[in-house]
């Protein structure tokens, strides 16, 4: 029996890497198995290495260098086609392992892109006032990053499996481009390439209940891309995405990737090697490089960043032009403390409640008061709180709806502590 083992750790207060590596080595030694200690890696790099091992190298070389080489070559080949030159992006590393690994990768990129890394772990705590979750929830830039007007910035989370983009416009207003915006950019570009090569492959986008209604409308009504909803948690999105030849899935928090079926990969690579018109061959090569650039094993902040940067370069888009593809509906996320989260049960992929009695009817009545509105309440999977999401035509209405749903949850689902107050 052979077992490949690796350790993925964020940079925070933790046992030493030596003691963690030792634990892995001792564990596999007890099984009388072979081991390989890959040291400190991001969670997505760990998934990549394991996939390479399990596929006997067909997915790639199971080393960090293999990861860097595969992604860098695909990115360089893609951006060579772009009319604009080297791109620069500011990266908030959340004081985590992703910052260290992105620094290692820079030499493999050979100046195809310039990254300026902030919150790189040299000082500051993991995810403290920085990182993807902080930016998404607070709707503000992280501390420790320099932002010039209309300059692209992005934030990883601590173990580098999530990413969100953002920028300040010329008036100084903050704009967030989250997982919905990322999924829309990637799926739109993929569909454009598929049309050019005339491939008949099934393609869909998988979202969760938290996806902004404007993104769903744009994909379904404008781009004519099927959209499916799955329960919160990437394991649910990943499984749904596997049902299609090309499945794009992202949670609003920036965790996601793209899956290609074996059939899709074979057809794309076959087209890239065929004698055909220059435009069709160029599109096929673009798709082939995207297949190689995307980490299909799990959401990967480094891989996703390079995919986004490549697409923006190829389309000649600024971050503001990307943002203007559609306008998010104003929304608000809140939470309510309850005595027991299990009193709430949901259906329709967590978009409607079936317990306690009367709660869903109350939410339905509340949403009728506001234009372009929807709201839902779902229990946390780890603590006794209920998460509430609301969106509407204005921020004032979204805030009011969210507050009223919180009150309904508090009174009908056993809220504890102080009654929720208006924002």
* Annotated binding residues for Mg(2+): 157, 159, 161
Whether omega before 356 lies within 30 degrees of 0, making that bond cis, reads yes
Which conformational region is residue 184 in: left (phi greater than 0), alpha (psi within -120 to 50 degrees), or beta?
alpha
Nearby residues of 344 by Cβ (< 8 Å), 6 or more positions away = 338, 353, 355, 356, 359, 377, 378, 379, 386, 409, 413
How many angstroms separate the CA atoms of 237 and 252, rounded?
A: 12
Annotated binding site: 157, 159, 161, 251-253, 378-382, 387
Quickly count: other Cβ atoms within 10 Å of residue 23's Cβ: 12
Nearest to 101 by CA among 85, 117, 82: 117
- Coil, strand or helix: which one is 258? strand
What's the CA angle centered on 312, arms 299 and 391, to 5 degrees?
65
With tokens 């260098």, the residue in question is 65
- The DSSP 8-state label assigned to residue 219 in this structure reads I
Annotated binding site for substrate: 251-253, 378-382, 387
């Amino acid at each position: 029996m052979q077992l490949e083992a690796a350790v993925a750790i964020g940079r925070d207060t933790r046992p030493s890497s030596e003691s963690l590596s030792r634990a892995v080595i001792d564990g596999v030694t007890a099984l009388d198995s072979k081991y390989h200690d890959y040291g400190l890696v991001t969670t997505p790099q760990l998934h990549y290495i394991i996939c390479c091992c399990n596929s006997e190298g067909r997915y790639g070389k199971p080393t960090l260098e293999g990861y860097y080489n595969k992604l860098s070559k695909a990115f360089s080949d893609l951006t060579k086609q772009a009319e604009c030159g080297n791109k620069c992006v500011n990266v908030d590393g959340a004081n985590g392992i992703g910052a260290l690994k992105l620094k290692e990768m820079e030499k493999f990129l050979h100046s195809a892109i310039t990254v300026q890394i902030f919150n790189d772990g040299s000082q500051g705590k993991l995810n403290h006032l920085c990182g993807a979750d902080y930016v998404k929830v607070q709707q503000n830039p992280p501390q420790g990053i320099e932002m010039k007007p209309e300059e692209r910035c992005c934030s990883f989370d601590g173990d580098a499996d999530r990413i969100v983009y953002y920028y300040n416009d010329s008036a100084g207003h903050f704009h967030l481009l989250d997982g919905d915006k990322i999924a829309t950019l990637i799926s739109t570009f993929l569909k454009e390439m598929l049309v050019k090569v005339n491939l008949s492959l099934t393609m869909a986008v998988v979202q969760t209940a938290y996806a902004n209604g404007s993104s769903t409308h744009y994909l379904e009504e404008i781009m004519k891309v099927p959209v499916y909803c799955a329960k919160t948690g990437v394991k649910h999105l990943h499984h749904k995405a596997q049902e299609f030849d090309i499945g794009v899935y992202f949670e609003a928090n920036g965790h996601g990737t793209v899956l290609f079926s074996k059939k899709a990969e074979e057809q794309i690579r076959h087209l890239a090697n065929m004698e055909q018109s220059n435009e069709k061959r160029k599109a096929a090569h673009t798709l082939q490089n995207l297949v190689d650039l995307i980490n299909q094993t799990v959401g990967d902040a480094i891989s996703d960043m390079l995919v986004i940067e490549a697409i923006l370069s190829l389309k000649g888009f600024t971050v503001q032009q990307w943002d203007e593809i559609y306008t998010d509906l104003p929304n608000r996320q809140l939470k309510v403390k309850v005595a027991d989260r299990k009193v709430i049960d949901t259906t329709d992929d967590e978009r409607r409640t079936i317990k306690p009695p009367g709660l869903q009817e109350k939410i339905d009545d509340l949403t009728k008061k506001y234009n372009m509105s929807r709201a839902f309440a779902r229990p946390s999977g780890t603590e006794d709180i209920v998460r509430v999401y609301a969106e509407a035509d204005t921020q004032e209405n979204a805030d009011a709806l969210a507050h009223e749903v919180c009150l309904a949850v508090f009174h009908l689902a056993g809220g504890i502590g102080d009654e929720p107050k208006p924002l």
